[in-house]
Each structure stands twice: as structure tokens, then as C-alpha cells.
Amino acid sequence: MKEAAQALRAIMATAEPQLRQLEADKPAVPPPPGEWSAREILGHLIDSAANNHQRMVRAQYNEAANFPPYRQVDWVRLQHYNQRSWPELVDFWLAYNHHLAAAIETIPPEALAARCNIGQDEPVTLEFVVNDYLRHVRHHLNDLL
Ligand code: NI
């Protein structure tokens, strides 16, 4: 999945300067009720990276079909991202995604059809998980930036 890895690196290259600028532009803007702050959105992207990392590796030895779905709202709430430093969250998100890009790059073609549970009725393929991960990152970065 070289192209997906390259796409993820390109997303990071574009987003990094904008993310680093964001805190200077909008320090601690409180979100409307029921919505996530910038820190919580970036935290949600870190949680997504962590959960999808597990799926992407486990799928390659066929143990992702029963991997539990994760409760994203609880993950954000329980980790108190609003109390964290913005630069630390940005650094960690970038580091994790550089790691994921390397992991995605080495997924062999024969693993692309491996089954992954993402909490829907039917498991999806590993290829779908990778592409859906990129779509999800783009979606939230568009909101954030
Ligand atoms: Ni999301």
C-alpha cells in the first residue's frame, strides 16, 4: 500500500505547519456545547491512529475480525485532552502517523482482503480500513484547519 502511505505523508506535510499555527491563532476557543475542542479533535485522531494501528497489524495474522469496536466519545472524554499541551498532541499525532505510514507501506498485497471488524454488521477488508482511515483523517483535519 505504497500509495496510501505516501498519501498519509502528504497529509501530514500539509497539516503540520497549519496545526502548529493553530494554537497561536485560536488559543483555547471553547467549542459549542456537544462538540469537541481542537484538542479533543486531535486527541480523537490519535485514538483513531491507535485503534487502526491495532487493526492493521492484527489483520495481517487474521485476528482483526473479532477486534472490538472502540467507543470514541468515551475515549475522548476519559483522556481529558483539554488538559494537554497542544504542541505535545501535535508532535504525538505526527509521530504516530509517521509510524503508521511505515506500517501501511509494508502491508503485502495478499493481506489486503483480510477481514477486520469495525463495529458494523459485517467485517470489512484491511484495504477498506486503510482507505477509510485516510478519509477519516482528512475529514477531521478539514474541520480543524
Ligand atoms: Ni471521527
Coil/strand/helix, residue 105: helix
- Convert the pLDDT of each residue in 86-104 to its tens digit: 999 999 999 999 999 999 9
Å from CA of 106 to ligand 1 middle: 25
pLDDT for the residue 5? 98
Is the CB of residue 53 less than 8 Å from the CB of residue 9?
Answer: no
Å from CA of 47 to ligand 1 middle: 10
Distance of CA 84 to the CA centre of its chain: 18
pLDDT for the residue 117? 86
- pLDDT at residue 26 is higher than 80: no
- Convert the pLDDT of each residue in 29-40 to its tens digit: 678 888 999 999
- 16 band by pLDDT with thresholds 50, 70 and 90: very high
Å from CA of 133 to ligand 1 middle: 10
Å from CA of 41 to ligand 1 middle: 8
Judge residue 78's burial from the number of C-beta atoms within 10 Å of its C-beta, 0-12 exposed, 13-18 middle, 19 or more buried. exposed
- pLDDT at residue 25 is higher than 70: no
